[in-house]
Amino acid sequence: MNENKVKIVVADPSALGLFGLAIITLVASSQKLGLTSGVSLVIPWAIFLGASAQLFACINDFKHNNTFGATAFGAYAFFWYAVGLTWLIQNGLFGEKLALMADTRQLGFAYLGYLIFSIYMTIGAMETHKVLFTIFVLIDFLFIGLTLTSFGIMPEISHQLAAYSELLIAIVSFYGSAAAVLNTHFNKIFLPVGRPFNIFKG
């Protein structure tokens, strides 16, 4: 008995995932840098671009059998869902009592966990390309800054570290997204992303 097999081709979702990361880090960094105030209008971008766009990229990277990309996009998608919900709690959407009970040191432990995650993902990014590696290094610095700020360690310096790292993440992610789109669209290296380091894969 012959079985007809249909192959479903799924496009590379990294351009959309990186675009989502670029937008939310650009908007969020504006608040950290004091260019804007509050998080009320950051929340929608956290939910739809930081979280949902990266979750979409995660699901489609799993279809590509890309464990690294799917794990990265998925982990950061859920990070931004959690951040959005955290801001809603802090701003009293779920009641004043819950907001008053918030202990930002708990965020410090969450950020520390994400720092650990980002460090070993940075090692993996070394064998992808240099633009992605640069994004992960900047994410490492972002989580160092966020962790120290949440624990009250050198708050002014660590806040600035987080703010500028986040802005640089946005800039490099825009470039990475553009490269993913245009290199595929023109079927040539239109924007170079740099070769892997070839340290671990050789």
Contact 152, 136 (CB under 8 A): no
Tokens of 148: 């120290």
Model pLDDT for residues 71-111, shown as the tens digit of each residue = 999 999 999 999 999 999 999 999 999 999 999 999 999 99
**Residue 10 pLDDT greater than 60, yes or no:** yes
DSSP secondary structure, 164-176, as one string? HHHHHHHHHHHHH
CA distance 69 to 43: 25
Tokens of 69: 């990309």
Measured CA distances, 56 to 13, 18, 51, 161 (Å): 8, 11, 9, 29
| pLDDT band, very low/low/confident/very high, at 9 (cuts 50, 70, 90) | confident
Q: What is the pTM of this model?
A: 0.94
Average pLDDT of 166-175?
98
Model pLDDT for residues 143-163, shown as the tens digit of each residue = 999 999 999 999 999 999 999
- Maximum Cα–Cα distance across the chain: 70
**Residue 192 pLDDT greater than 70, yes or no:** yes
Q: State the pLDDT at residue 43.
A: 98
**Residue 6 pLDDT greater than 90, yes or no:** no
